[in-house]
Structure 1
Amino acid sequence: MSRAFNIAITLLLTISIVSCSKVEKSQPYQWDIIDGFPKPQLPSDNPMSEAKVLLGRTIFYDKALSANQQQSCASCHLQQNAFAESLPTSVGSTGEQHRRNSPALVNIAYNKTLTWAHDGLTSIEQQIILPMFGEDPIELGITHHEAEVLQRFQTDHYVTLFTQAFAIKSPQEISFDQINKALASFVRSLISLNSPFDRYAYANDDNALSASALRGMNLFFSEKLECHHCHGGFNFTQSTSHEKQLLDRRPFHNTGLYNVNGSYPEKDIGLAEISTLARDNGRFRAPTLRNIEVSAPYMHDGSIATLEEVLDFYAQGGRDISSGKLLGDGRKNPLKSPFVKGFDMTEQDKQDLLAFLISLTDEKFLNNPKHAKP
């Protein structure tokens, strides 16, 4: 398979047309994206600015945002883990164990849907409300502590930052709406497009990928493995939106992870919780594969520990659990995606696929001081 053909497939799966909201004309935000790439779509009431990104970044790392001051956004979204974390499932500020793995915040400015399994959450501003005010599960736990939390941001330092970002006139004007918009702006700034794959595909660096990674890339985009059907486009996920996007695509997939009496465990049945449709049982959003090397463990519940095991899982066409309360053969789940059909994989194939997936690691992104704690 030719290099040009692979790159064409990568781009083709996400190209479309939609107008982008206007940004502030005085100081337009400079996106850290490859020349010619489409910019993310922006809500009309929250244009990007450097001041808002800095304010959001400062709040992102500040435990003052949680009611008991025990956690910040960064507690579950660590830069070295591509703004994911190494726990199978997250733990909230009150110690409550959550049921889902903390997703990596990589290029989510380009996401069409947010979280693992909700087709109605299409903006970062909407999503951020959940960890801030949600009560089931409790994450930051702000509900019933709103005045107390807001007061913590009325320091001289924060007043300066809010004034630069929102032109407030007094500390009393600081609001959760501004906090939400600043956090959304910082999260949108987390762009990762400088991996070895990007240098090979978009900067014409023929030496950026090893021979093994090139073989892995060919396998990844092959019809034999079907990987690109769910992890396609320049962001390696179908759930993509940007200024040139034509289609409103909100794909979710049942990968055969479970088959407990024909269903997923009651603890988490995926999109079906939102849609109430039986056919959505066990369907989850395919995450981006960018920086996938550092965002283990994997799947919505963190139940697969390593990339090697992930490849084995897909090669087998699902997971057969032979004992315990989750007993069942996921390979035979009646709602499993037709793209998860299993495939033959030699040890060399496996090593080549791993080399390609590792080539999606962006060291600049993982170590960018602009994303770190101020």
Structure 2
Amino acid sequence: MSAAKVELGRRLFYDADLSADGTLACAGCHEQKRAFADGNATRPGVHGGAGRRNVPGLANIGWFGRLTFADPAATSLEAQALIPLMGEHPVEMGMKGREAEFERRLGAEACYRRMFAKAFPERGGRIDVASVTAALGAFQRTIISYRSPYDRFRRGETKALSALGREGARVFRTRGCVSCHSGPNLTDLDYHRLEAATGADVGLGEHTRLPEDEGRFRTPSLRNVELTGPWWHDGSARTLEDAIGRHPVTLSQTDMKALIAFLGAQTDPHFIADPTLARPDRACGKRL
């Protein structure tokens, strides 16, 4: 981590030249106003192929040890970045076999050459996949969200959470939600099965080849959850009520209303408006 790496990573995050045809940036699927999700069930890749899974939000992603819904090998942000950049199942940004394009495209701009040299002096400013993913990882570790009403309530601001939200916190705690949505980011980062495996996506079982892992997916974080819909690993839950209703718990309308209020209190207004996370408008002292 360094300020130079973060600055470079932020610019790369918003640069569509990281995709095969120059049409899709990381930010094309991870929009700040949606807590770095994108509002679609799944997202087609650059070649028009259908996406497989819902785009997750990125709040506090630097503290996650498991970074995808079902791939246990993706345990670092640098490794995870290779999935959208180079992956073929599905193709997202479509850069597999085009690795030389990073140096050609980015290296054609003097400002980028200076930014890579400043960020990676130990590598001689080399522009390649390793440097790109390292810079992206540095920026993503600054995508931090801990100023929601619920955070403020936990820090002692009793009026930060409404009476209905406090009741929702009780429902969340007593009705078992916290057994999976635990810890500061409201996820245990473990794999669970809530529905029978259907279709081609068998979740964790795709990687472990174990029948008992079919249909298991990693618990999503609930930070800024009202902004990150549609929900579920495939984006098939169009409302929070639908997403909640798929869990093995029956709630009264009163409890559901309170729980929705509690989930709404996870929205961090500072996070979605933080200018340091937005698309940069300057680089190397000049407007982009």
- TM-score w.r.t. the length of structure 1 is 0.72
1:116-155 correspondence runs (5 A):
116-154=69-107, 155=109
1:186-215 CA distances to partner (integer Å, 9 max, x unpaired)?
Answer: 11111110000000102x101000000000
1:333 is aligned to none
Structure 1 residue 93: deviation in Å?
1.3
Counterpart-to-counterpart distance in 2, 1:192 and 1:370 = 13
Confirm or deny: 8 A CA contact 1:212 1:355 kept in the other structure: yes
1:359 is aligned to 265
1:219 is aligned to 171
Select the residue among 238, 251, 256 that pairs with 2:188: 238
The amino acid of 2:186's aligned partner reads F
Counterpart-to-counterpart distance in 1, 2:127 and 2:242 = 47
1:46-71 CA distances to partner (integer Å, 9 max, x unpaired)?
Answer: xx111111100100100111111010
1:74-119 CA distances to partner (integer Å, 9 max, x unpaired)?
Answer: 1111111111111101111111111111111111111121110022
2:160 is aligned to 208
Name the SS of the counterpart of 1:152 in structure 2.
helix
Instruction: Tell me if 1:293 matches 2:226.
Output: yes
Name the SS of the counterpart of 1:219 in structure 2.
helix
1:253 is aligned to 192
Instruction: Tell me if 1:310 matches 2:240.
Output: no
Confirm or deny: 8 A CA contact 2:38 2:55 kept in the other structure: yes
Structure 1 residue 309: deviation in Å?
1.6
Confirm or deny: 8 A CA contact 1:142 1:149 kept in the other structure: no
1:59-98 correspondence runs (5 A):
59-98=12-51
Instruction: Tell me if 1:194 matches 2:147.
Output: yes
Identity percentage of aligned residues: 40
| Structure of larger gyration radius | 1
Name the SS of the counterpart of 1:153 in structure 2.
helix
2:283 is aligned to none
Instruction: Tell me if 1:269 matches 2:202.
Output: yes
Instruction: Tell me if 1:99 matches 2:52.
Output: yes
Counterpart-to-counterpart distance in 2, 1:160 and 1:120 = 33
Structure 1 residue 165: deviation in Å?
0.9
2:286 is aligned to none
The amino acid of 2:112's aligned partner reads Y
Counterpart-to-counterpart distance in 1, 2:214 and 2:124 = 49
Structure 1 residue 120: deviation in Å?
2.2
The amino acid of 1:68's aligned partner reads D
Counterpart-to-counterpart distance in 1, 2:35 and 2:201 = 24
The amino acid of 1:231's aligned partner reads H
Instruction: Tell me if 1:372 matches 2:273.
Output: no
Matched residues, number = 279
Confirm or deny: 8 A CA contact 2:99 2:128 kept in the other structure: no
Counterpart-to-counterpart distance in 2, 1:106 and 1:161 = 26
Select the residue among 110, 121, 130 that pairs with 1:177: 130
Q: Which has the higher helix share?
A: 2
Question: Aligned-pair RMSD on alpha carbons?
Answer: 1.4
Counterpart-to-counterpart distance in 2, 1:178 and 1:206 = 45
1:16 is aligned to none
Counterpart-to-counterpart distance in 2, 1:170 and 1:269 = 43
Counterpart-to-counterpart distance in 2, 1:187 and 1:364 = 17
Confirm or deny: 8 A CA contact 1:99 1:267 kept in the other structure: no
Structure 2 residue runs of 5 or longer lacking an equivalent are 281-288
1:157 is aligned to 111
Confirm or deny: 8 A CA contact 1:91 1:98 kept in the other structure: yes
Moved over 4 A (4+): 168-171
Select the residue among 121, 136, 140 that pairs with 1:167: 121
- Pick which of 346-355 and 56-65 moved more: 346-355
Counterpart-to-counterpart distance in 2, 1:103 and 1:267 = 20
Confirm or deny: 8 A CA contact 1:60 1:183 kept in the other structure: yes
Counterpart-to-counterpart distance in 2, 1:175 and 1:284 = 32
- TM-score w.r.t. the length of structure 2 is 0.93
